[in-house]
Structure formats: structure tokens, C-alpha cells
């Protein structure tokens, strides 16, 4: 078990290229495997989560050739997957487990999905319930992994109202809908990331989307395509906050995905007073990209608008660091989903902020943070096996006069394998021991 020692630094200056988008990387492997023809993917994230998805499809008979971040996927079609010889180990990846459940529920063979200790605690009943309504047969451990999925079931399309704002649940049902008799429709309570819908269209599959309702009908095929994976805004967010809180910072993040269902972090930081400008906006493969310039800023606390919560759900740990450096109080509500991520991210961040002397109050569905200054840490901060917690507290070193130690940072490799090198190249002083 390794840890970060984040030493004080004040300056940040660089042009940075953060790794490829994790959500798009997962989906490119899944849909490329189910398509006819060879899908070429450039810029695939090399994190452990994505590689778990890649290995799972290789175990199901898909030929996948990898040369660093370039991948060629020899698709087998919707019905060409083969039964794996053993359980599919998805490590820490909740995205892999939830989305693949939709695909595997319709196969002719039995399968089992397992994960690490952290993933084994995460709720899967949110995908089990709609899949069961469609006709799937799934056994779980009280709604949590491992999942045993019985093959040779006939699925029927459903009209499903999502009880939570979750792109993973939406995507799971849509992927099952590729195999279901009749039409499958999903209605969202709030807009969530739409990479699955965009990518299905990119693979030539007709999909209807209007007024938060998404529908598709089985019976069509996926056709191989070429995919350019943009830089992940969730990874870029760490350096966006780093630049806003640093005493002297001016950075440019190149080619970042600014899909409008993912830009909540930009909107929230700008409401707090962050100096963020977007240039070189262009479209690649149905996704919108831009270079993002971020400069040192004087932040103020805000009540985070409820409509932005689902659009920034993965970025809140580092947004809490920004709130800690802002003048006044920041209030987040409507974010109960943060309690069932890789950790209880609300409580994990609150505990760490308290160690750094930041006043906060945990709410059932959010948190109040009183902006101030970081004190000498009272203790080592625990990441709770959560990559975003670990990286967020590393960013706090840009406004702390003392070393910050963060335990259990191995999981950073799941989403941002070169985080330490990139942070140090920009001016931070981060050591992993």
C-alpha cells in the first residue's frame, strides 16, 4: 500500500495533456466488440479500470490488439461472444460491471462478474432491477457483487423511469435493449452523460432521444468505426482546481472533452469566480473538445445549483478542495449518489478536510464547507481506496504550508496512471512512496 507525500508548492505553469476519457474508453471497447468489422481506437485510457474491460472481452473471444494507447478491436457482432472459462474480474470498475451486466443478460451462456473489495461493496441492485423486469435472471449478494447472470433468457423491451440520475444504469438498460424484443425506453429524472447514446449513433445504430427520454429497438447491427478518445474532463478537473487555488498559475489543458453533459465542473468553478476560458473548440467523433486555460483565481463560496449536480458527480471531491479555499460557505445538496461511489465520498472528504482544519458539516445528501486556510495536518489522510479522494487531497498542497500525507493511493492507477508525473511537470511537488 503506497502513499502520497504532497509538499507545498505555489506555482503552476504548463500545457498539459491529461489521459483519455474513461467513460468513452470503456464504451469503445464494449461497442467495438459487439460491432461487425474492426474498430480502431486512438487515445484509449491505459488505466486499470479500462484494461479490466478490455481483458474481459478478450476472455469472451474478442481479438483485441493493443499498441500503447492505440487499440484495434475485431468485433464479433452482437451474438458472437463466447462463454469465458472463469469469472470476469473487473477490479475496481463499477462502470464495467454495470454496463456489461446489460450485455451479458442477453447472451446464451452463463457468466459471473466479480470485483475487488471496494467494488464488492457497491450497489448493483439498481441495474439488477430493470434487467430483471426485462426478463434477465441474476443472482447477487444482497444486491452487491459478485453477480451470477444466467444465459439463454429472452429479454423484452421496457419503458423505465430511472429512479436515480445514473448514466451507468441508463447505459446498462440501453445495451440490454439491443437484444430485447420490442422497444426499450428510458426516462431520466436529470440529464446525465450521454456517451452511450452518441457512440451507438457513431456505430450506426438508430436511437431516439427527446425530452430526457431515450429509446431504441432491437434488430439492427453495430458497424465498426474509428474512435478518437478525447482527454477526460474528470482528470482535467484536478488541474483546473489546482490552477484556480495556486498563488501563481496559468495552465492550458489540451483537447479536453467538453460534452455538455460533463461540464458541470466548469460551470461550478466559474460560478465561484474561477478564471477559465475555452479555445480551439472543435468536434471529433460526435464529441465536443476544447483547450481549457485556467489561471489563479479568487474564489467565493456558493450554493451549488441542483441542476449541475449530476453533471459534475465525479468531480465533487476536488470541487470540495476549491470550496475549502474560497471565501465564505459552499453548500452542496442533492448529491446522495456520492455516498455509493468507490467510497462514501462525502464522509471521506469531510474527514480529510477536518484533518486539514477546514470546518464542514456533513448532510444526508451533501455537505457544507466553510472556506478558510489549510492548517498543519493533524494526521495522515485516508483515501479509503478511492482514486479521486487521493488525487483531490494532493491538489490541496498548492495552498497548504505543510506536507500532506495521503494513505492508500494505488487506486490512482485505475483512472490516471501518470498523475504524479504530470503534476510534477506542471510545478507540484508530489512524491509517491
Active-site annotation holds for 314: yes
Identify any residues that bridge with 295 across adjacent strands, giving them in sequence order.
250, 275
Inter-residue contact 176 to 102 (CB < 8 Å): yes
d(CA 10, CA 5): 16
Largest CA distance in the chain: 61
- At 320, give phi and psi (nearest 5°): -65, -30
d(CA 430, CA 433): 10
Sign of the CA dihedral running 346, 348, 354, 356 = negative
Residue 308 CB partners (closer than 8 Å, separation 6+): 264, 267, 268
In order of 155, 259, 262, 314, the CA distances from 192 in angstroms are: 25, 11, 8, 12
Closest CA to 174 of 189, 195, 153, 191: 195
Q: Which of 89, 116, 232, 314 is catalytic?
A: 314
- At 418, give phi and psi (nearest 5°): -105, 25
d(CA 358, CA 323): 10
Active site residues: 314
Amino acid at each position: 500500500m503506497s502513499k502520497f507525500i504532497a509538499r507545498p508548492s505555489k506555482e503552476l505553469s504548463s500545457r498539459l495533456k491529461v489521459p483519455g476519457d474513461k467513460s468513452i474508453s470503456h464504451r469503445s471497447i464494449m461497442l467495438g466488440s459487439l460491432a461487425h468489422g474492426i474498430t480502431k481506437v486512438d487515445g484509449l485510457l491505459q488505466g486499470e479500470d479500462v484494461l479490466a474491460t478490455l481483458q474481459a472481452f478478450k476472455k469472451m473471444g474478442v481479438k483485441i490488439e493493443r499498441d500503447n494507447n492505440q487499440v484495434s478491436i475485431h468485433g464479433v457482432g452482437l451474438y458472437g461472444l463466447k462463454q469465458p472459462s472463469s469469472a470476469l474480474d473487473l477490479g475496481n470498475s463499477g462502470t464495467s460491471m454495470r454496463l456489461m451486466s446489460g450485455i451479458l443478460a442477453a447472451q446464451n451462456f452463463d457468466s459471473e462478474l466479480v470485483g475487488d473489495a471496494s467494488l464488492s461493496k457497491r450497489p448493483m441492485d439498481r441495474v439488477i432491477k430493470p434487467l430483471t423486469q426485462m426478463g434477465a435472471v441474476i443472482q447477487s449478494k444482497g444486491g452487491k457483487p459478485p453477480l451470477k447472470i444466467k444465459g439463454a433468457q429472452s429479454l423484452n423491451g421496457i419503458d423505465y423511469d430511472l429512479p436515480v440520475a445514473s448514466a451507468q444504469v441508463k447505459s446498462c438498460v440501453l445495451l440490454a435493449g439491443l437484444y430485447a424484443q420490442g422497444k426499450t425506453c428510458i426516462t431520466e429524472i436529470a440529464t446525465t452523460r450521454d456517451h452511450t447514446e452518441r457512440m451507438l449513433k457513431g456505430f450506426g445504430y438508430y436511437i431516439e432521444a427527446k425530452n430526457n427520454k431515450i429509446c431504441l429497438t432491437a434488430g439492427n447491427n453495430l458497424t465498426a468505426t474509428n474512435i478518437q478518445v478525447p482527454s477526460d474532463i474528470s482528470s482535467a478537473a484536478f488541474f483546473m482546481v489546482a490552477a484556480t487555488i495556486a498563488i501563481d498559475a496559468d495552465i492550458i489543458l489540451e483537447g479536453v472533452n467538453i460534452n455538455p453533459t460533463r461540464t458541470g465542473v466548469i460551470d461550478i468553478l466559474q460560478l465561484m469566480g474561477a478564471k477559465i476560458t475555452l479555445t480551439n473548440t472543435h468536434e471529433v467523433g460526435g464529441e465536443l473538445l476544447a483547450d481549457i486555460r485556467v489561471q489563479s483565481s479568487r474564489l467565493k463560496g456558493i450554493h451549488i445549483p441542483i441542476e449541475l449536480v449530476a453533471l459534475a458527480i465525479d468531480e465533487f471531491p476536488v470541487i470540495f478542495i476549491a470550496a475549502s479555499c474560497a471565501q465564505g460557505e459552499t453548500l452542496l445538496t442533492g448529491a446522495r449518489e456520492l455516498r455509493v461511489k468507490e467510497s462514501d465520498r462525502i464522509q471521506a472528504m469531510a474527514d480529510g478536510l477536518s484533518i486539514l482544519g477546514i470546518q464542514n458539516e456533513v448532510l444526508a445528501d451533501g455537505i457544507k464547507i466553510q472556506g478558510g486556510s489549510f492548517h498543519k495536518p493533524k494526521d495522515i489522510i485516508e483515501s479509503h481506496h478511492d482514486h479521486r479522494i487521493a488525487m483531490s487531497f494532493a491538489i490541496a498542497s498548492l495552498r497548504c504550508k505543510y506536507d500532506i500525507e495521503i494513505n492508500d493511493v494505488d487506486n490512482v492507477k485505475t483512472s490516471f496512471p501518470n498523475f504524479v508525473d504530470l503534476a510534477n511537470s506542471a510545478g507540484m511537488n508530489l512524491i509517491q512512496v
